[in-house]
Structure 1
């Protein structure tokens, strides 16, 4: 069927129902009535000879055909959006662009302050929305334009996803001042293994990078507490003899409040490299390119340590 015979607005409805898992929520998102959205869905069903969505409880669940279509539909809609919004030009000083950045919560404290300072100075009318995107769904979110860019560790993504390294981060160990097992600010491997530890992760189970390195050497530490957030874990460190292993960059920021001892991890670990990701379909989009430039200019210094150079924590020495 030729595209001239198809109402392309139907695909915007398809995307909204897919994203919102329901006709009512899709109608609110599109500012249309529920009957109008239902009518559009019926036309799509006739066009493809497939129900596309089936009701399960209060949710509309996509069929296998709908799942196979969504990536290409979202990429096409994104292309139309860029064209209609004047992708050939971008003036940061006057733009009211709403940027969306995929970012894990562990990176927010180090990434957002310098990035927002840059946006406030250079794009006073622009806004930024930050959300944690699942690594499994990152590629489809970038393709759809639901996030403009993302910052994360190195991930196995397709060639449609562009990436550039921002820098690396070391691993350090935090213990409270006056800890009875840590003498003169030194932490050897035997002492580390004799301590009880906090593991911080958003996952309910599974080892950390430090645990995998220990396991490779036939070693294991004792995890006494598994927590979700480093800030809470730092509070626990202040009131116990537990040790916390974490990325140095965030440790330096948090430790401005806690004044714990920051010690090198007693094994050689590779630096945890951080990458900036975006989709090939926005390679030449001036607004997206501007955002990437700000991230690389501000976050690169943040990742390599200069953004926390004024931290009052004890320096980490090798």
Structure 2
């Protein structure tokens, strides 16, 4: 039992590695130590807590209920210690080899990633980037556990343990093939409503910003095709008379005709989020500032007013 026992903090580093890898050999590889050293540390932890902590199962070393109870506290404590050290030594992007792992929506990937990669090569050439996408409900827990450093998402991602900063607000426009009958001339609400629309949303169902805006003025469009990703959209539009209402920053990346929406609609807002336990991490502060720089270089240019096609 623990009592007044003084505990080597390195044991908790081993605990975290075993929990993550569910295998003693893989944990040893991550920690760059021998497998017997990991086994010895696990034996000490078992003695301290009076619990096996991990038991063999078909999937590997499975955590016991006590280990599951401990992991969040252990990871938060280790992260806090890392932050204290980082705050003392600072962060030098020019020499850092850190890997940043972020959750990002597809909108953020399409709009920010090209500029972000360019700036990382210039300012932090030895850093790496991992971009993942997960259900919005999982993001706060992944940030709290340290599995994800930052998240770029809509303001809907709110949680009392998260801190955030605005990135940009992107207006919507309407895109179609360059030879589309509506690419020139009149383009009012009737033309918009009477067209067949492609709607892109990561969600399986539900209304988007455009539909809510139309509903507020008593109108409704026909969504003839619903997609979960933007990838097929340019090819589909270029070979049909369908139209699509999408963020302007994405529209200007493609060789399509763009028209301003003939009604008022809210902009697409994105923010970056991190867990409050790492909000003072110099590396993440730098990364957040870099995102803002990329936004200034990329989004502001892309969101300039859509010009009306020449008659």
Q: TM-score, structure 1 length as denominator?
A: 0.79
The residue aligned with 1:164 is: 165
C-alpha change, 1:251 and 1:316, in structure 2 (3 Å) is farther
Distance apart, 1:4 and its partner CA: 4.6
Equivalent residues in 2 for 1:229-244, closer than 5 Å: 229-244=229-244
Match of 1:221 in 2: 221
C-alpha contact 2:163 2:273 (8 A) present in aligned 1:
yes
Q: Give 1:87 shift.
A: 4.6
Looking at structure 1, the residues matched to 206 and 116 of structure 2 have their Cα atoms a distance apart, in angstroms, of 32
- Deviation, structure 1 residue 285: 2.4
- Does the 8 Å contact 1:87/1:286 carry over to 2? no
Long gaps (5+) in structure 1? none
Q: Deviations over 1:114-173 (max 9, x none)?
A: 222222222222222222243222223323333332222113433432211122011111
Tell me how far apart the structure 1 counterparts of residues 221 and 36 of structure 2 sit (CA, whole Å).
57
| C-alpha contact (below 8 Å) 2:168/2:271 kept by paired residues | yes
Is 2:36 aligned against 1:40? Answer: no
Deviation at residue 226 of structure 1 after TM alignment: 1.9
Per-residue displacement from partner, 1:249-286 (whole Å, max 9, x unpaired)?
11111x2xx2x221122331122222122222233322
* Contact 2:170/2:303 (<8 A) preserved: no
What's the CA shift string for 1:166-220, capped at 9, x where partnerless?
Answer: 220111111112324x263442222222111112123333332222333344433
SS of alignment partner, residue 164 of structure 1: strand
1:306 aligns with 2:298: no
Equivalent in the alignment of 1:290: 286
Q: Aligned pair count?
A: 307
Q: Distance in 2 between matches of 1:71 and 1:206?
A: 34
Separation in 1 of the partners of 2:68 and 2:77? 15
Report which stretch shifted further, 57-66 or 74-83: 57-66
Q: Compute the RMSD of aligned alpha carbons.
A: 3.5
> In structure 1, what is the Cα distance between the partners aligned to 2:185 and 2:194?
16
Distance 1:236 1:230 in 2: 10
What secondary structure does 2:274 align onto? strand
